[in-house]
């Protein structure tokens, strides 16, 4: 079977105009009247360069990449909003694009009128809307306000209504931009359930998101874009892992001791860094990856019962756990002790955390102490909570037995 | 169903696609009409009141000073018959001319044939037109009970057709220009004011003595359309030359406007 969507060498060029400083241009233009008719200085910018990929019917594909990577432009070209400069796309199905929910909603119209207008803009036939009208309203949960003007709706209600209409779109190919990232958690869950239903029913989805967890959950394959080109095209877990490392591994995540006069010279923490499973410094870890924290300590005294205390703190400073490691169990080379702590994978919930570390003696004497160091982010790579990304559902994810 | 998305070029008009989207034309028109009179006390009555009050004002100020022998019409009928078509043109080009900019947030987010937007803008003014038409018939019965109903039935659609072609051409042209040069937001209302004086809406062409200016006015298809309608009230058939000339010029305007719109349409989303 031929692919439902063939993207062949798509490129998109934009011209960026540089406006000169007003006084400069006015003066120069007055000096040279002809310049009024001359072209403004412009620079060519390729938002997309030679993009090619195929999508088979029933596949759901995630498109990820940093801001400005060209994801949105690609979606706009695919949805015919803007033409490509070069290349072509062959589509073998009806495309509906959802770059925004509630496109065309008008505050002066009632909820009912807006459902019809918005549905029609999204490409639904009047009959289709009529047949599904009750379901749409039910999904949005706004029966009572059906004939109230939209401007009197709360923003949450407007959003729910907008989603509800979109949720009942029924095209062969659906293009979705980061639109699921809004709304309250319950409603998000409802929408994601609906999306999963769509993929299961064998329709094709192209999905742009920054939420790796969602991409992992919904898409089987993903494209990683960078500077208008496709960097990686592979299964979702490979691509999201690549995205996380590619995006952040350059950023060092190191604590280094800075000597001060008041320092304790007997023992101190010289260096702490977090590294990924390939040994590269990293500050972002997938939920399904181990987090390795390397410690280097300088000890100029004889070691007795001192311990290295390490704690992980959430962004509010609450402790997640504490580890005590006796110094005499660390690897020793001259006056330098080293060790690597491995936080298990699939345990710490996606969020932002910092480390607290100290060298203490069992009698309570503190040699060296540092708080809020080595900030790390744990990225969702498809936890059961991925649709609640950014919400507080605790700091650890465990599975419990039920009886 | 297989189709291609390719770099923009050419000037094909995809009438089938436009037909597939006919429901969207309906909903956009409905929206425009509904919004227009939302939260007004008088609602669609405004469509009657505006031309009616203008008629009264023009009658009070101009009737005595103008020679309108050429049509043998009472001045209120004379001016109303001009205003009814003029309003379609003026509201039409201003709505259509601003429509792409007003709807830019939709254009940037979803695809549909862009032509739908100016089309529904102009269709919306037709709703006003039909309401005004009722008032016009009342005015006719009051001032000129002997008017020729039959020839109005034939010639009003003709003059409306000429007006619509002209409005559509000019409206699309302005809409496309407005996307690129926002100056047109200011040019359009000014242009409408100037055109009101260049179109014999409130005065008869006969008061113009200069032959050159008269020739120029004759090129104006709206002036021609009004001329046809005014003749019709008395049961006079327009000369074939006039009808032909009006149709030709309005068709040229229609084609030029449409082609320019079509040519620039591709890039609306990038510019808007």
Same domain, A328 and A347: yes
Question: Does residue A403 belong to any structural domain of this protein?
Answer: no
Backbone angles phi, psi at A190, to 5 degrees: -60, -45
The answer to whether A202 and A174 are in contact (CB under 8 A) is no
CA A344 to chain centre: 23
Same domain, A114 and A225: yes
Contact residues on chain A for B106, CB-CB shorter than 8 A: 103-104, 121
- Condensed to tens digits (0 to 9), the pLDDT of residues A295-322 reads 999 888 888 888 999 999 887 778 899 9
Q: DSSP labels for A174-212? A: EEE-S-TT-S-HHHHHHHHHHHHHHHHTT-EEEEE-S-H
- The CATH number covering residue A286 comes to 2.70.50.60
Per-residue burial over A381-398, b if 16 or more Cβ lie within 10 Å, else e, is bbbebbbbbeeeeebeee
Distance from CA of A87 to the nearest CA of B (A): 7
Q: Best residue in A1, A15, A80 to probe B by mutation, most B CBs within 10 Å? A: A80
Same domain, A241 and A259: no
Same domain, A128 and A184: yes
Of B27, B107, B108, the CB nearest to A116: B27
**How far is A282 from B172, CA to CA, in rounded Å?**
56
Same domain, A108 and A188: yes
Per-residue burial over A110-124, b if 16 or more Cβ lie within 10 Å, else e, is bbebbbbbbbbbbbb
**How far is A123 from A141, CA to CA, in rounded Å?**
23
Is A102 in the B-facing interface, judged by CB distances under 8 Å?
no
- Condensed to tens digits (0 to 9), the pLDDT of residues A213-253 reads 778 888 889 999 988 899 889 888 888 877 876 655 445 57
Mean residue pLDDT of chain A comes to 83
Which tokens go with A50?
């030679």
Domain that holds residue A193: 5-247
Contact residues on chain A for B108, CB-CB shorter than 8 A: 81
- The CATH number covering residue A147 comes to 3.40.50.300
**How far is A192 from A205, CA to CA, in rounded Å?**
13
Same domain, A242 and A268: no
| pLDDT tier at B190, thresholds 50, 70, 90 | very high
The residue from A219, A247, A275 where one domain ends is: A247
The residue from A184, A216, A247 where one domain ends is: A247
Establish, for the pair of chains A and B, how many residue pairs have beta carbons separated by less than 8 Å: 89
Question: Does residue A401 belong to any structural domain of this protein?
Answer: no
- For chain A positions 146-175, those within 8 Å of chain B (CB to CB) are 149
Q: Which residue has the tokens 């239903």?
A: A197
Record: contact A80-B5, CB cut-off 8 A: yes
The residue from A199, A216, A247 where one domain ends is: A247
Record: contact B38-A108, CB cut-off 8 A: yes
Contact residues on chain B for A179, CB-CB shorter than 8 A: none
Residue A31: pLDDT over 70: no
**Assembly ipTM:** 0.86
Distance from CA of A81 to the nearest CA of B (A): 5
Record: contact B7-A80, CB cut-off 8 A: no
The count of structural domains within chain A is: 2
Question: Does residue A395 belong to any structural domain of this protein?
Answer: no
Question: Does residue A397 belong to any structural domain of this protein?
Answer: no
Same domain, A168 and A271: no
Same domain, A30 and A129: yes
- Condensed to tens digits (0 to 9), the pLDDT of residues B113-145 reads 999 999 999 999 999 899 999 999 999 999 888
Same domain, A369 and A268: yes
Of B24, B35, B110, the CB nearest to A99: B110
Same domain, A239 and A269: no
What count of other Cβ atoms lies within 10 Å of the Cβ of residue A127? 9
| pLDDT tier at A30, thresholds 50, 70, 90 | low
Same domain, A194 and A278: no
Of B6, B8, B27, the CB nearest to A117: B27
Same domain, A10 and A123: yes
Three-state DSSP class for A245?
A: helix
């Amino acid at each position: 079977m031929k692919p439902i969507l063939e993207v062949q060498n798509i490129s998109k060029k934009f011209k960026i105009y540089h406006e000169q400083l007003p006084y400069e241009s006015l003066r120069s233009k007055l000096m040279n009247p002809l310049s009024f008719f001359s072209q403004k200085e412009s620079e060519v910018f390729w938002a997309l360069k030679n993009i090619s990929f195929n999508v088979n019917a029933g596949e759901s594909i995630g498109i990820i990449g940093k801001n400005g990577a060209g994801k949105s432009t690609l979606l706009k070209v695919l949805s015919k909003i803007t033409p490509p400069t070069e290349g072509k796309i062959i589509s073998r199905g009806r495309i509906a694009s959802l770059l925004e929910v509630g496109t065309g909603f008008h505050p002066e119209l009632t909820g009912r009128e807006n459902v019809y207008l918005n549905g029609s803009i999204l490409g639904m036939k009047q009959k289709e809307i009529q047949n599904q009208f009750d379901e749409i309203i039910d999904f949005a949960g706004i029966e009572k306000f059906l004939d109230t003007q939209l401007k009197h709706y709360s923003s949450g209600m407007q959003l729910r209504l907008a989603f509800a209409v979109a949720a009942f779109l029924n095209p062969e190919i659906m293009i979705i931009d980061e639109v699921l990232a809004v709304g309250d958690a319950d409603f998000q869950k409802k929408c994601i359930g609906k999306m999963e239903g769509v993929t299961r029913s064998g329709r094709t989805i192209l999905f742009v998101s920054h939420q790796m967890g969602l991409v992992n959950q919904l898409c089987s394959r993903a494209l990683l874009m960078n500077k208008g080109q496709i960097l990686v095209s592979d299964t979702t877990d490979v691509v999201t892992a690549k995205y996380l490392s590619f995006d952040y591994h350059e950023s060092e995540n190191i604590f280094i001791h800075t000597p001060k006069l008041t320092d304790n010279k007997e023992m101190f923490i010289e260096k702490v860094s977090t590294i990924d499973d390939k040994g590269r410094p990293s500050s972002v870890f997938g939920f399904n990856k181990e987090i390795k924290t390397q410690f280097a300590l300088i000890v100029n005294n004889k070691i007795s019962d001192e311990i290295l205390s390490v704690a992980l703190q959430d962004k509010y400073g609450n402790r997640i756990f504490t580890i005590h490691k006796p110094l005499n169990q660390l690897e020793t080379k001259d006056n330098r002790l080293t060790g690597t702590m491995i936080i298990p994978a699939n345990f710490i919930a996606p969020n932002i955390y910092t480390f607290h570390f100290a060298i203490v003696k069992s009698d309570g004497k503190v040699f060296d102490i540092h708080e809020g160091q080595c900030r790390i982010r744990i990225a969702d790579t498809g936890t059961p909570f991925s649709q609640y990304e950014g919400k507080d559902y605790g700091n650890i994810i465990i599975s419990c037995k039920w009886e | 169903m297989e189709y291609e998305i390719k770099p923009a070029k050419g000037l094909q008009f995809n009438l089938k696609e436009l037909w597939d989207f006919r429901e969207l034309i309906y909903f956009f028109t409905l929206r425009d009409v509904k919004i227009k009179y939302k939260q007004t006390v008088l609602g669609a009555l405004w469509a009657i009141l505006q031309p009616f009050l203008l008629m009264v004002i023009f009658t009070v100020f101009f009737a005595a000073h103008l020679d309108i022998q050429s049509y043998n019409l009472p001045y209120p009928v004379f001016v109303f018959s001009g205003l009814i078509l003029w309003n379609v043109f003026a509201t039409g080009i201003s709505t259509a001319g601003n429509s792409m900019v007003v709807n830019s947030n939709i254009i940037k987010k979803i695809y549909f044939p862009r032509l739908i937007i100016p089309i529904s803008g102009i269709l919306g003014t037709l709703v006003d037109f039909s309401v005004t038409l009722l008032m016009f018939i009342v005015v006719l019965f009051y001032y000129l009970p002997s008017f020729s109903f039959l020839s109005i039935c034939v010639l009003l659609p003709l003059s409306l057709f000429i007006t619509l072609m002209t409005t559509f051409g000019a409206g699309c042209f302005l809409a496309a220009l407005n996307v690129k040069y926002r100056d047109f937001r200011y040019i359009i209302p000014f242009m409408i004011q100037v055109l009101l004086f260049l179109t014999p809406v409130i005065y008869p062409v006969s008061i113009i003595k200069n032959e050159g200016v008269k020739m120029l006015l004759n090129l104006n298809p709206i002036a021609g359309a009004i001329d046809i309608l005014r003749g019709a009230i008395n049961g006079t058939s327009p000369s074939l030359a006039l009808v032909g000339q009006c149709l030709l010029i309005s068709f040229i305007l229609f084609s030029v406007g449409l082609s320019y719109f079509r040519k620039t349409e591709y890039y609306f989303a990038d510019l808007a």
